[in-house]
Amino acid sequence: MQYREIGKTGIQASVVGLGAWAIGGGGFWDGKDDDEEAARAIRFALEQGINLIDTAPGYGDGKSERLVCEVVSGFDRGKLVISTKCGIIWWGEEGGYMHTLDGKRYYRNLEPHSIRHEVEQSLKRLNVDYIDVLFTHWPSLESFPTPIEKTMRCLLELKEEGIIKAIGASNVNLDQIKEYMEIGQLDVTQPPYSMLNRDVEGDYLAYCMENNISLFAYSPLEQGLLTGKITMEYEPEAGTYRANHLKWYQKQNRKQVIEMLAGWSDIAQKYEATMAQLVIAWTVSQPGITHALCGARKQKHVEENLKGGSMAIAREDLARMRTDIERLKLS
């Protein structure tokens, strides 16, 4: 497993991190929750060299954090990099309305008092004395705007107090990143990034690289589509994230992706890798993409993801894959 520094913090995190969104369960996900299997997956990841776990209070209303706590308590805290988030609440109505899921209304609130309350609750759920990386989960909404300056000053105070070690912002655009940086050092961002979703390439990535801002790419396997295991016969369950939010799963797009992956069978064979491993390795080989958060609800998913963090792909193979990716005509 490769390890890379988060920003300029000195924190060394595995290039493949365990994304703990899915283990929180809820209406976004296919199938039934299996908490025991999820715990095994987390434990196996830590035993095999993945030291970065990314969770959030909003993943199952605290469930994801509680499951992470159950496992990490048996490991050396100093070797773990625990990343969580703030800014989404479900226990009150102070904030900008975001959505309703499983009958609950969720709001965005990045006011300092709300952030501090969330952090206190996360520390309790995780049973830790500090959080390695705290992300703002989403920007505030126009219906309940909080200036980034106000939010960032709170985060800097938490960092000075030793409650958090690094400051992150998730789902932000370049202008918002620059606003954070006007107040203090932003250590890491967390946008969606994959072969199919490369919106942050260009000015966004260039700015992050110039300013020592790491990038945790989430959904690098596009909810399983880029593992090569999804066929044309598969139909996502109605109402799930795959069905509602991922255009790549639409049949006209899925066909192109499946055919592209099939065309890389010789590359996968060359590196004795599965398609998922090849895709992860390609992802963390892209300039500016420092870490990839790979979701896993089962140990077998972690087993497959691991090699992607240690593979070195030849320049010509990386270039060939990018050429094929850029030829896609996804609608």
Residues in the chain: 331
Task: Give the structural domain span for 210.
Answer: 3-225+283-313
Rounded to two decimals, the pTM is 0.95
CATH of the domain at 176: 3.20.20.100
pLDDT at 238: 77
pLDDT at 31: 60
pLDDT at 101: 86
Spatial CA neighbour of 17 closest among 287, 216, 312, 283: 216
Q: Is residue 326 part of a domain?
A: no
Number of Cβ within a 10 Å radius of residue 226: 25
pLDDT at 34: 87
Q: Is residue 22 part of a domain?
A: yes
Q: Is residue 261 part of a domain?
A: no
Q: Is residue 240 part of a domain?
A: no
Please tell me which residue in 3, 59, 106, 241 is annotated as part of the active site. Answer: 59
pLDDT at 272: 97
Return d(Cα 249, Cα 234) in angstroms, integer.
9
Per the prediction, the chain carries an average pLDDT of 94
Q: Is residue 236 part of a domain?
A: no
Q: Is residue 173 part of a domain?
A: yes
Q: Is residue 235 part of a domain?
A: no
Question: What residues in the chain have per-residue pLDDT under 50?
Answer: none
Which residues, in sequence order, are CB contacts of 316 under 8 Å at separation 6+?
none
Q: Is residue 262 part of a domain?
A: no
Is 106 part of the annotated catalytic residue set? no
Q: Which two tokens stand for residue 83?
A: 């990343």
pLDDT at 243: 76
Q: Are strands 88-89 and 104-108 parallel, antiparallel or unpaired?
A: antiparallel
pLDDT at 313: 97
Number of folded domains in the chain? Answer: 1
